[in-house]
Amino acid sequence: MLVVGCKKNEFIPYYQPIMSLDDKLQGVEVLVRWKLSDGSLLLPAYFIEVAEQMEVINEITITLVKKVQADFRRYSSNYNRKVFCAFNLTAQQIENKSFINLLILTLKKEKNFVPSFEITERQHFNNLALAKANIRRLQEQGYQVKLDDAGTGYGGFSYFMDFNLDGVKIDKMFIDVIGVDDVKVEVLNSIIMMAKRLGIDIVAEGVETQQQVDFLRKHNIDYIQGYYYSKPVPFKDLNFDN
Ligand code: C2E
Ligand code: CA
């Protein structure tokens, strides 16, 4: 079904704003949706794990990149400044030299946004040297590479030392404890402290409440993403004015 869905061009990008602390939209995360023939949308929870274990994830990612490029071109009157655009990549994709070549080639002439990548860690890295070399190649293009869902994956922070990543996305699980569980907030504090020591960007995701925003502002993290600002939306519904 995934392969057929891909052939029928049914995978589409939704976008969630990523804001700086002064409430300005600085970037977006691209989140895939499966648009079925009856017009209904399937969330990644229903298919992404299976897709990630198959070759088809590469086709889905490249399709998304091309659709994002088309959206930025088509709606160029909607925005007046360049923002970054973050795509999700799996550990396997980062280790796949020909896929990274294709990704770089596809994005080569992109002028409308700054490409950025979030590495999800649902699967193990098998070849750290290759992953590191490919991350470096993306960074050499001027693209940022961040660790997604930090603290929940297999390697956690050990990858930072090795991979020279540009940033970390703190998982919703750690944001949910703000104002709820003082002991668990200590874990969040240490993630923030470690990222600051390493001098890398910190993005908080799954931010829903004013209390969470206040806490994150107080700790001077770099970016906030979550329903507090906006759910993922089609490109035409993004608001670049703030
Ligand atoms: P993720 O990368 O951790 O993305 C954040 C997820 O949290 C998104 O779910 C987003 O809609 C949701 N979210 C954001 N803010 C809030 C909030 O304030 N509250 C709540 N309750 N949820 C929030 P979504 O879109 O269903 O995506 C789920 C996962 O699917 C993503 O998690 C990502 O790991 C994966 N995914 C999405 N698109 C792609 C893709 O193109 N490639 C790959 N490999 N994975 C993807
Ligand atoms: Ca992500």
Structural domains of the chain, ranges and CATH numbers in brackets? 2-235 (3.20.20.450)
The two beta strands, 25-35 and 114-120, are: unpaired
Does 122 have pLDDT greater than 80?
Answer: no
One-letter identity of residue 154: Y
Q: pLDDT tens, 196-233?
A: 998 999 999 999 999 999 999 999 999 999 999 999 99
Position 149 scores a pLDDT of 81
The token pair that represents 120 in the structure block: 């999800």
The average pLDDT across 5-32 equals 97
> Does any ligand 1 atom lie closer than 6 A to the CB of residue 64?
yes
DSSP 31: E
Q: Which of 93, 87, 241 is nearest to 169 (CA)?
A: 87
pLDDT at 155 over 70: no
Give the dihedral sign, CA 131/139/163/89: negative
Containing 90, the helix (H) or strand (E) segment is strand 84-90
Atom of ligand 1 nearest to the CA of 57: 44
Assigned token pair, 96: 């796949």
Decide whether any atom of ligand 1 lies within 6 Å of the 120 Cβ.
Answer: yes
| Over residues 31-59, mean pLDDT | 96
Degrees, nearest 5: CA angle 29-196-132 = 60
What is the rounded radius of gyration, in angstroms, for the C-alpha atoms of the chain?
18
Structure tokens given for 32: 């895939």
The best mutation among 31, 64, 103, 230 to test binding of ligand 1, ranked by most ligand atoms within 8 Å of the C-beta, falls on 31
In angstroms, rounded to a whole number, what is the distance separating the alpha carbons of residues 16 and 85? 10
Report the alpha-carbon distance of residue 103 to residue 30 in Å, rounded: 15
Tell me, rounded to whole angstroms, the distance of Cα 216 from its chain centroid. 19
Which residues is 85 bridged to in the sheet?
28, 115
pLDDT at 153: 63
31 Cα–ligand 2 center, Å: 8
Q: Please tell me the distance between residue 183's alpha carbon and the centre of ligand 1 in angstroms.
A: 26
Task: Ligand 1, residue 13: give the atom nearest the CA.
Answer: 41
